[in-house]
Structure 1
Amino acid sequence: MTDSFNSFCYHHPRREAVVRCPVCQRFFCRECVTEHEDRMLCSNCLAGLSGKAMPADRYWHQQLLVGMQGLSAFLFLWYLFFLLGQMLLAIPHSFHEGTIWQSEWWRKP
């Protein structure tokens, strides 16, 4: 027998493996396997046996969605930094030069 006692889950590296998939020969934890026809199979192998693998057009749809989310996050952060720059430009020059602190405007009662 191999090192099945010291194996960890393929999807969850911190969890101890309890079963080895007979199709792909990988170790999995309790949450990653399903019993099918008296055999414990991982979700990928079970999808392959049932013929319900993800269609290619849906895969590209998901990839496009992830790309659009990344692009919108980038544009949002860019706009946030743009607004921050506009706020810094709106601060008076006397504040930038330090002359505002040399005048005694804050000591007047």
Structure 2
Amino acid sequence: MSSFDQLCYRHPGREAVARCPACLHFFCRECVTEHAGRMLCSNCLSRLSDGRAEGGRLRMEQMVIFMQGAFGMALLWYFFFLLGQILLAIPHAFHEGAIWQADWWRKP
């Protein structure tokens, strides 16, 4: 039997117009759907979409974890940046220890 004489896998009375590349069965126009340039049957399309949903969810979870880590690193960097700015704002006399030897705090 040639490919021209094939009948639909689900509807034996109808002429087949496409062959699903995943399951290799022939189907009529109502049973196949074009997806990413290929004609797929509904069973193979549902299997393909279920797999993509799982992969998409996993990818989203990985992206969320990455973004949380990046946000944490940025927050940590900003904290140390502010700490450095505060330390730079302290007068030089304080760093040299001369501020403790002065009597400015004893004067009324």
Looking at structure 2, the residues matched to 76 and 108 of structure 1 have their Cα atoms a distance apart, in angstroms, of 43
Looking at structure 2, the residues matched to 71 and 64 of structure 1 have their Cα atoms a distance apart, in angstroms, of 10
Q: How big is each residue's C-alpha offset from its partner over 1:35-90, in whole Å with a ceiling of 9 and x where there is no partner?
A: xxxxxxxxxxxxxxxx89x7011101111111101100110110011000000000
Q: Which residue is 2:106 aligned to?
A: 107
Are 1:67 and 2:66 an aligned pair? yes
Unaligned runs of 5+ in 2: 1-49
Provide the TM-score with structure 1 as the length reference: 0.50
Provide the TM-score with structure 2 as the length reference: 0.50
Letter in 2 for 1:71: A
TM superposition outliers: structure 1 runs of 4+ over 2 Å = none
Identity in percent: 55
Letter in 2 for 1:65: V
Alignment: residue pair count: 58
Letter in 1 for 2:98: T
